[in-house]
Amino acid sequence: MMDDFKNEKRLHRRYAFQIVLQIREMLQALPSLVDIDVPEGKHFTVCGDVHGQFYDLVNIFQLNGLPSEDNPYLFNGDFVDRGSFSVEVILTLFAFKCMCPSAMYLARGNHESKSMNKIYGFEGEVRAKLNDKFVELFAEVFCCLPLAHVINGKVFVVHGGLFSVDGVKLSDIRAIDRFCEPPEEGLMCELLWSDPQPLPGRGPSKRGVGLSFGGDVTKRFLEENKLDLVLRSHEVKDEGYEVEHDGKLITVFSAPNYCDQVMFQLRGCSVTRTMDFLFLQLVTMPHPQVKPMAYANNFMGLFS
């Protein structure tokens, strides 16, 4: 399937239906906060936003190995939109999850939602490459994605960030009813949308949704939940990753040459039980001459 995708071929809708229906059943059975155990001596790779850049996803697997029980991955949200190969990305990730559930973990990002998909290209791409039925089916599956993961009881992995109030416990996140479109406020919204800031305290979000939170907020959340680190995505970084908040927060972004405009060097990380990190170097890969946002007709219409 991946070879066909690389050659710009499409998967028959029958098989796409089988993959998406199977992944829906698997995701529905998961909690909103998933615990991951990485045995001592084993490694675990966390990737940030991929945003429909299928050829860069293929490059990650070529550099770091295909997902397997001995080489597991967590893709930390924003699989789709902006890049024009989102269908290929999402079917590849879902297929690996179906083939070997312990090889692939998936978290929801702010772009796994109807409103974002309508504007930033995924909905139009799905209509073009599959059909209208898949638009609603993907939207339903996205509502089943877990909101966060905890690795070895120490690393909190979330797409966006932390909260507008102190005292949020992991049990509160487990209790979130996530089977809905993301609300505009509250814990679920903030998990998907928030960003760190250099100053202490909290401030308004530059995105207009969620909030900005300082190192003191990160420190208190970690201490209250007996965690060591927040690992998140959601933001473009010049080097592909950034360490902030006195080493207690790492952002990792996995879409090199994002939207064919920005050149990056570093983009993924391998997390071991001993909390050592290896940042996997990525360079942009050539892709067919289909521009980012090629299917975002509704978005482009806003400016016409």
Catalytic residues: 111
Separation of alpha carbons 161 and 219, rounded Å = 13
Supply the DSSP string of 187-213, one letter for each residue: HHHHHHH-EE-SSSSEEE-TTSSSEEE
Backbone angles phi, psi at 257, to 5 degrees: 50, 50
Separation of alpha carbons 189 and 207, rounded Å = 12
Separation of alpha carbons 11 and 193, rounded Å = 32
Question: 48 and 76 in contact (C-beta within 8 Å)?
Answer: yes
Residue type, 298: N
- Of the chain, the end-to-end C-alpha distance in Å amounts to 37
